[in-house]
Chain A
Amino acid sequence: MTVNTETTYEVVCRLDQIEREGGVTALVGGEAVAVIRTFDDQVHALSNYDPYSRASVLARGIVGTRTVDGEDVPFVASPMHKQAFDLRTGQCLDDPTVTVATYDVRVVDGVVEVGPRRA
Chain B
Amino acid sequence: MASHPRHLRKQLVVVGHGMVGHRFVESAISRGLTETYDITVIGEEPRPAYDRVALTSFFEVGAQALSFLPSGRYDDPRVTLRVNTEVVAVSPRQRIVTLASGEDLHYDELVLATGAAPFVPPVPGHDLENCFVYRTIEDLEAIRDAAKKAGKSGVGAVIGGGLLGLEAANALHQLGLETHVVELAPRLMAVQVDDIGGKTLSRHIDSLGLTVHTGAMTEAVLGDKKGRVDRLALKDRNPLDVDIVVFSAGIRPRDALARAAGLDVAERGGVLVDESLRSSDEHIWAIGECAAVGGMMYGLVAPGYDMAEIVVDRLLGGEGSFTGADMSTKLKLLGVDVASFGDAHGQTEGALELTYQDAVSGVYKKLVISEDGKRLLGGVLVGDAAAYGILRPMVASGMELPANPEELILPTSRGGLEMDLPDDMQVCSCNDVTKGEIKEAVSDEATLNDGGPCVDAACVTAHTRAGATCGSCKVVVKKIVEDHFAATGKEVDRSLCQHFRMTRQELFDVVAVHGYTRFDDIIEGHGTGRGCDICKPAVASILASLLNHHVLEPGNRQLQDTNDAYLANIQRNGTYSVVPRIPGGEITPDKLIAIGEVARDFGLYTKITGGQRIDLFGARMEDLPAIWKRLVDAGMESGHAYGKSLRTVKSCVGSTWCRYGVQDSVGLAIELELRYRGLRSPHKLKGGVSGCARECAEARSKDFGIIATEKGWNLYVCGNGGAIPAHAQLLAGDLDKDTLIQYLDRFLMYYIRTADRLQRTSYWMDSIDGGLDRIREIVVDDALGLGAELEAAMDKHVESYFDEWKATIEDPEKMARFVSFVNAPGVPDPNISFRDERGQIAPADNEGPVALGPTIPVGAPR
Taking Cβ atoms with an 8 Å cutoff, the residues of A that contact B are 1, 10-13, 17-22, 24-27, 29-32, 35, 38-39, 47-49, 53-57, 60-67, 72, 74-75, 77, 79-80, 82, 84
Contact A62 B823 (CB under 8 A): no
Q: 8 Å CB contacts to A: which residues of B799-833?
A: 816, 820-824, 827, 829-832
Per-residue interface assignment for chain B, residues 407 to 448, with 1 indicating a CB less than 8 Å from any chain A CB and 0 otherwise: 000000000000000000000000000000000000000000
Binds A, one of B194-202, B285-293, B526-534: B526-534
Q: Residue B343 at the A interface, CB < 8 A?
A: no
Minimum CB–CB distance for A69 against chain B, Å: 13
Contact A32 B831 (CB under 8 A): yes
Minimum CB–CB distance for B767 against chain A, Å: 24
A56 and B823 contact, Cβ closer than 8 Å, known pairs A19-B557, A65-B530, A84-B533: no
Contact B530 A49 (CB under 8 A): no
Per-residue interface assignment for chain B, residues 105 to 148, with 1 indicating a CB less than 8 Å from any chain A CB and 0 otherwise: 00000000000000000000000000000000000000000000
Residues of A within 8 A of B533 (CB): 61-62, 64, 77, 82, 84
Contact B822 A55 (CB under 8 A): no
Contact partner of B529 among A12, A72, A80, CB < 8 A? A72
A65 and B531 contact, Cβ closer than 8 Å, known pairs A19-B557, A54-B845, A57-B570: yes
Minimum CB–CB distance for B539 against chain A, Å: 11
Residues of A within 8 A of B558 (CB): 19-22, 62-63
Residues of B within 8 A of A12 (CB): 822-823
- With the chains together, A105 CA to B79 CA distance in Å? 72
Cβ-closest chain A residue relative to B851: A30
Q: Residue B85 at the A interface, CB < 8 A?
A: no
Contact B821 A32 (CB under 8 A): yes
Contact A64 B827 (CB under 8 A): no
Residues of B within 8 A of A18 (CB): 822
Contact B849 A32 (CB under 8 A): yes
Cβ-closest chain A residue relative to B560: A62
Minimum CB–CB distance for A79 against chain B, Å: 4
- With the chains together, A77 CA to B573 CA distance in Å? 17
Q: Residue B317 at the A interface, CB < 8 A?
A: no
- With the chains together, A63 CA to B558 CA distance in Å? 8
Contact partner of B530 among A21, A48, A55, A82, CB < 8 A? A21
A30 and B854 contact, Cβ closer than 8 Å, known pairs A20-B558, A49-B831, A57-B570: yes
Contact B562 A79 (CB under 8 A): yes
Residues of B within 8 A of A55 (CB): 572-574, 831
Q: Residue B743 at the A interface, CB < 8 A?
A: no
Q: Residue B157 at the A interface, CB < 8 A?
A: no
Minimum CB–CB distance for B91 against chain A, Å: 67
Residues of B within 8 A of A74 (CB): 530
- With the chains together, A26 CA to B851 CA distance in Å? 12
Contact partner of B823 among A11, A19, A54, A75, CB < 8 A? A11
Q: A11-B823, A20-B558, A77-B532 are in contact. List 13 more A-B contacts (CB 8 A).
A: A13-B823, A26-B823, A29-B851, A31-B851, A35-B822, A56-B829, A60-B562, A60-B565, A64-B532, A65-B529, A74-B530, A75-B532, A79-B565
- With the chains together, A55 CA to B832 CA distance in Å? 8
Contact A1 B823 (CB under 8 A): yes
Contact A24 B829 (CB under 8 A): no
- With the chains together, A75 CA to B845 CA distance in Å? 26
Minimum CB–CB distance for B816 against chain A, Å: 8
Contact A26 B822 (CB under 8 A): yes
Q: Residue B746 at the A interface, CB < 8 A?
A: no
Residues of B within 8 A of A72 (CB): 529-530
Q: 8 Å CB contacts to A: which residues of B840-862?
A: 845-854
Q: For chain A, what secondary structure do more than half of its interface residues adopt (helix, strand, loop), or is it mixed? A: strand
- With the chains together, A46 CA to B350 CA distance in Å? 80
Contact B820 A49 (CB under 8 A): no
Q: Residue B508 at the A interface, CB < 8 A?
A: no
Cβ-closest chain B residue relative to A18: B822
Contact partner of B532 among A39, A48, A65, CB < 8 A? A65
Offer 17 A-B interface pairs, CB within 8 angstroms, sorted by A.
A11-B823, A13-B822, A25-B822, A26-B822, A26-B824, A27-B824, A31-B852, A49-B831, A57-B570, A62-B561, A63-B558, A66-B532, A74-B530, A77-B532, A77-B533, A80-B570, A84-B532
Contact B498 A24 (CB under 8 A): no
Residues of A within 8 A of B824 (CB): 1, 26-27
- With the chains together, A31 CA to B848 CA distance in Å? 11
Q: Residue B559 at the A interface, CB < 8 A?
A: yes
Minimum CB–CB distance for A68 against chain B, Å: 10
Residues of A within 8 A of B535 (CB): 64
Minimum CB–CB distance for A9 against chain B, Å: 12
- With the chains together, A119 CA to B779 CA distance in Å? 61
- With the chains together, A35 CA to B819 CA distance in Å? 14
Residues of B within 8 A of A54 (CB): 845-848
Q: Residue B330 at the A interface, CB < 8 A?
A: no
A27 and B570 contact, Cβ closer than 8 Å, known pairs A22-B557, A65-B531: no
Residues of B within 8 A of A27 (CB): 821, 823-824, 827, 852
Cβ-closest chain A residue relative to B498: A67
Minimum CB–CB distance for A2 against chain B, Å: 9
A19 and B822 contact, Cβ closer than 8 Å, known pairs A61-B533, A64-B529, A65-B532: no
Residues of A within 8 A of B821 (CB): 25-27, 32
Contact A80 B562 (CB under 8 A): yes
Cβ-closest chain B residue relative to A76: B533
Per-residue interface assignment for chain B, residues 534 to 571, with 1 indicating a CB less than 8 Å from any chain A CB and 0 otherwise: 01110000000000000000100111011001100010
Contact B572 A53 (CB under 8 A): yes
A66 and B498 contact, Cβ closer than 8 Å, known pairs A29-B851, A32-B821, A35-B822: yes
Contact partner of B820 among A25, A62, A66, CB < 8 A? A25
- With the chains together, A30 CA to B830 CA distance in Å? 9
- With the chains together, A77 CA to B822 CA distance in Å? 20
Per-residue interface assignment for chain B, residues 55 to 96, with 1 indicating a CB less than 8 Å from any chain A CB and 0 otherwise: 000000000000000000000000000000000000000000
Residues of A within 8 A of B561 (CB): 62, 79
- With the chains together, A1 CA to B822 CA distance in Å? 11
Contact B853 A25 (CB under 8 A): no
- With the chains together, A30 CA to B621 CA distance in Å? 19
Minimum CB–CB distance for A12 against chain B, Å: 5
Contact B831 A56 (CB under 8 A): yes
Cβ-closest chain B residue relative to A28: B823
Cβ-closest chain B residue relative to A31: B851
Contact partner of B574 among A19, A35, A38, A57, CB < 8 A? A57
Residues of A within 8 A of B852 (CB): 27, 30-31
Residues of A within 8 A of B557 (CB): 19, 22
- With the chains together, A11 CA to B634 CA distance in Å? 40
Minimum CB–CB distance for A3 against chain B, Å: 11
Minimum CB–CB distance for A26 against chain B, Å: 5
Cβ-closest chain A residue relative to B843: A55
- With the chains together, A26 CA to B489 CA distance in Å? 48
Cβ-closest chain A residue relative to B575: A55
Contact B532 A56 (CB under 8 A): no
Residues of A within 8 A of B822 (CB): 12-13, 17-18, 24-26, 35
Residues of B within 8 A of A29 (CB): 851
Minimum CB–CB distance for B817 against chain A, Å: 8
- With the chains together, A32 CA to B816 CA distance in Å? 18
Residues of A within 8 A of B530 (CB): 21, 38-39, 63-65, 72, 74
- With the chains together, A31 CA to B851 CA distance in Å? 5
Contact B574 A56 (CB under 8 A): yes
Cβ-closest chain A residue relative to B566: A60
Minimum CB–CB distance for A55 against chain B, Å: 4
